[in-house]
Amino acid sequence: MKVWKYTLSVEHAGQRVALRMPKGAKVVHVGVVNDAWSIWVEVDPDAPLVERTFTVIPTGFVDVPEGGVYLGTIIAHGGFVWHVYEIVPQAVASGETRVRMVCKSCGNSHTVSKDATVRWNEFLQKWVIDTIHDQPDCCDICTDTEIEERPIT
Ligand SMILES: [Zn+2]
């Protein structure tokens, strides 16, 4: 086993960051190095890589993400206090089927999007998603399309 350091390249609070790390990796410390949020992880370097998702949220702003598992707290410059969470998908945790959003017409998943309203957050100095609208669904390739949920097998 070794300890590796990963940087959480989070541009705004609540943003999710996917990191590839050896399977079974265990987070042993969170902190800040040269203003970059970082985590130290005990790994078996020979294990196959898997993707894991993390986020950083400030005290008092941004909800704890669904499926969020608390890892630790970072006290940054200016007295700001940040909390690091790993997001463990509920579906995986409970054994439910996960879904992929695809365009009903062309079947692509990377081309579909939804409209959302963002609101300016003065504390974070960032636009933060407030509402994800039900309509319209949009595919970059097709026009007049719908998004369909398909189980990931
Ligand atoms: Zn399409």
The answer to whether the peptide bond before residue 136 is cis (omega within 30 degrees of 0) is: yes
Spatial CB neighbours of 8, under 8 Å, sequence gap ≥ 6: 17, 19, 36, 37, 38, 39, 54, 56, 84
* Ligand 1 center from residue 63 Cα (angstroms): 32
CA distances from 121 to 40, 124, 127 (A): 30, 5, 6
Indicate whether 123 pLDDT > 90.
no
pLDDT over 90 at 131, yes or no: no
| pLDDT of 22 over the 80 cut | yes
Cα distance between residue 37 and residue 34, in whole Å: 8
Q: Within the chain, how many helices (H) and strands (E) appear?
A: 1, 11
- Residue 41 C-alpha to ligand 1 middle, in angstroms? 40
- 111 pLDDT exceeds 70? yes
Q: Which residues contact 35 (CB under 8 A, 6 or more apart)?
A: 76, 77
pLDDT bracket for residue 12 (50, 70, 90): confident
Instruction: Answer whether residue 124 shows pLDDT above 60.
Output: yes
Question: How much is the pLDDT for 92?
Answer: 56
Cα 98 to ligand 1 centroid, rounded to whole Å: 21
Q: How much distance in Å is there from the Cα of 52 to the middle of ligand 1?
A: 28
Residue extents of the structural domains in the chain: 1-94, 97-153
Higher pLDDT among residues 87 and 35, named by residue: 87
Ligand 1 center–CA 132 separation, angstroms: 20
Contact 57, 14 (CB under 8 A): yes
Q: What confidence score (pLDDT) does residue 9 get?
A: 82
Q: How far apart are CA 153 and CA 111, in angstroms?
A: 20
Ligand 1 center to residue 116 CA distance, Å? 19
Asked if residues 104 and 147 have their Cβ atoms less than 8 Å apart, the reply is yes
C-alpha of residue 100 to centroid of ligand 1, in Å: 14
CA distance 3 to 7: 13
The pLDDT score that the predictor gives to residue 91 is: 53
Predicted local distance difference test score (pLDDT) of residue 94: 61
Q: What is the pLDDT of residues 37-92, one digit of tens each?
A: 899 999 999 999 999 999 999 888 788 888 889 999 988 777 888 899 999 876 55
